[in-house]
Structure 1
Amino acid sequence: MVSDSGIHFHARGEWREPSLTPRTIRFQKGLYAQFHHLFLLQVGTATLILEGEDQRALLGPTIAYLPPQSRCELHMAAGAAGFIIGVSPQIVVDAIGDRAESYALRIFSEQPWFMAEPDAVAVSEAQPLLAGFVRELGDPARASWMAIAAYMRLILMALWRAGGVETAEQRGRGGSASVLQRYRQLVETWFRQHRPMTDYARELGVTTDRLHSICRSALGRSPVQLLHERLVQEAKLRLERSARTVQEISDGLGFRDPTYFSHFFKKKTGFSPATYRDFARRSEVAESHVLSSGYADWP
């Protein structure tokens, strides 16, 4: 992992006081070109101008979340005030983690999100998290990667819930939920444990043959193929977006040793982990089809 001494290359945070004049902020500029940004407008009005899209007016209290591909600038009206925070893709990887909710958060983190209408309750939940994030970065003696990633995880969870996604997913777990949807949820929870497919089938209340038939019919791949694709996708993300060693990535994904992980990765991608990471870091091949294109690729 990148040391905490470099945290200011991976995170930014500021409170913008009310001003007598309008202000313009360009999010993706210089060091922050690939940052995920969040703007909490506490009072006043602002306008977001997204590249290739119409203007979006904001009325406080409200929140806007902007992934790196959302090239935009923010115009804060006189008297407007709010928080602006940003983090690198490496911190987002750590913030999202590898728990049951991680799959949904990964998808959420790849798309712009705007509060449909002013929501004082949701803003009041997120506001102290952003304030803590800004305080953490503002004290050089204590600014911690772990703390910033933890704040970002809580912030993403708050936004995800504010959008009503969690409630919809909970409703989907009832009788109308498909076996495939529940299999995907189980894979997200268990894929690092390398459990046999019989464990998945037993938890889902179906036979392994039935699970195989459902996955083949819906996605054209077997349950094992989907599970392996999820492992490869996670390995790609960690190789691309973190400074962890191959052994640390292997351990984090539940492989018994780095050599076995390397053989598995090369069999699935055609590249060793080290070669893949080297490709990912070369700007001239950043658009190569072998690279991970985002969190929502599986499956």
Structure 2
Amino acid sequence: MATDGGIHHYARGEWYAPSLSHRRIRFQKGLYADFHHFLLLGEGRGELHFDNGEDRPLHGPLIAFLPPQARCDLSIAAGTAAHLVGVSAQIMVDAIGDKVESYSLRLFTEQRKLVEAADPLLAAEVAPLVTGFVRELGDPARSSWMVAAAYIRLVLMALWRGRGGERGEERGQGETGSILQRYRQLVEAGFRNHRPISDYAAELGVTTDRLHSICQRALGRSPIQLLHERVVQEAKLRLERSARNIQEISDSLGFRDPTYFSHFFKRKTGLSPAGYREIARASAGSENSMLSSGYADWP
């Protein structure tokens, strides 16, 4: 992880006060090209101008999430205020965390399109979080990585819930789908603990054979394969997107020693952790199928 002193390479927070004239901002450039951005638009109007030629009018108050793939400029009409905050993939990893909801947040942040919520109540809920984030970055005596990640986690949760994330996951699953979803959530919360599959089955109230059958039928993989894939996915993300050394990553993933972690990772990927990291750094900015493409890779 980067030190807090260098947080401005990993996060940004800007306040645009109401102006007498129209403003157009190219915010996804240079250091910020691959940031995840959140836009909080106050009462008034704005517009997003996407690189593919599409224009999206905005009517505040609203909160919008813009992943790195949603390339655009932002126009803010005269008299309209806005906050724009952005974070790197490294801070996003820490913001999403490893709790039960993390799997859903990972999928949410991997969307390749604008997510807009023109809900005044949601905008009002998020407003103090966004302003707190901007204030945190604006104070050189503070500018804490942990605090910045905490603000982004709260913004993400509010936006995900406001878009019906929890309700959407509950609809139309049936018993089998419900068991699979709950297994994924348990894995998300506990994959670092390296629990046996029998523990997961017992917590779900099914036999190990029943859980195996559900996973095989729905995803073509056994429960242990899914569990190991989740561990490997997290290891890849940390090797690609954090500055932690191999031992720190091994410890954070619950391995008893880095040698065992290295053997596990190489058995699953064909590369040592150090070798994978070297390829990831050499491939930065390119499309390399060997690398993790994001959180949604875990099924």
- Partner of 1:200 in structure 2? 200
User: Which one is further off, 51-60 or 25-34?
Assistant: 51-60
Q: Tell me, which stretches of 5 or more residues in structure 2 are unaligned?
A: none
Tell me, in whole angstroms, the C-alpha distance in 2 between the residues paired with 1:234 and 1:36.
19
Percent identity between matched residues is 66
Write the deviation string for residues 193-229 of structure 1: whole angstroms up to 9, x where unpaired. 1111111111111111111111111111111111100
Task: Return the alpha-carbon distance in structure 2 between the equivalents of residues 176 and 271 of structure 1.
Answer: 35
How far apart are the structure 1 equivalents of 2:190 and 2:142? Answer: 35
- Hey, what's the Cα distance between the residues in 2 that align with 1:264 and 1:5? 34
Q: Which residue of 2 aligns with 1:147?
A: 147
Residue 27 of structure 2 corresponds to residue 55 of structure 1: no
- Give the structure-1-normalised TM-score: 0.95
Match of 2:261 in 1: 261
- 8 Å Cα contact 1:11-1:86 kept in structure 2: yes
State whether residues 173 and 182 of structure 1, in contact with CA within 8 Å, keep that contact through their aligned partners in structure 2. Answer: no
2:214 aligned with 1:248: no
Q: Within 5 Å, give how 1:1-299 maps onto structure 2.
A: 1-52=1-52, 54-111=54-111, 112-116=113-117, 118-170=118-170, 177-283=177-283, 286-299=286-299
Measure how far apart 1:177 and its partner are: 4.6
1:171 to partner: Cα distance: 5.8
Work out the number of aligned pairs and report it. 298
Asked whether the equivalents of residues 176 and 214 of structure 2 are also in contact (C-alpha less than 8 Å), the reply is no
Matched AA of 2:115: F
CA contact (8 A) 1:265 1:271 kept: yes
What is the SS of the residue equivalent to 2:83? strand
Indicate the RMSD between aligned Cα atoms, in angstroms.
1.7
Structure 1 runs (4+) deviating above 4 angstroms are 170-177
Question: By how many angstroms is 1:43 displaced?
Answer: 1.6
Provide closer, same or farther for how the CA distance between residues 202 and 172 of structure 1 changes in structure 2, counting only shifts above 3 A: farther
Go from structure 1 to structure 2 and tell me whether the alpha carbon gap of 1:78 and 1:282 turns closer, same or farther (over 3 Å shift).
same
Mapped contact 2:2–2:243 kept (Cα < 8 A): yes
Structure 2 Cα separation of the partners of residues 284 and 9 of structure 1: 16
Secondary structure of the equivalent of 1:42? strand
SS in 2 for 1:115: strand
* Structure 1 residue identity aligned to 2:289: H
Partner Cα distance (1:102, 1:280) in 2: 24
Q: Please state how far the C-alpha of 1:183 moved relative to its aligned partner.
A: 1.3
Shift of 1:259: 0.5
**Paired residue secondary structure (2:24):** strand
- Cα offset, 1:168, TM superposition: 3.1
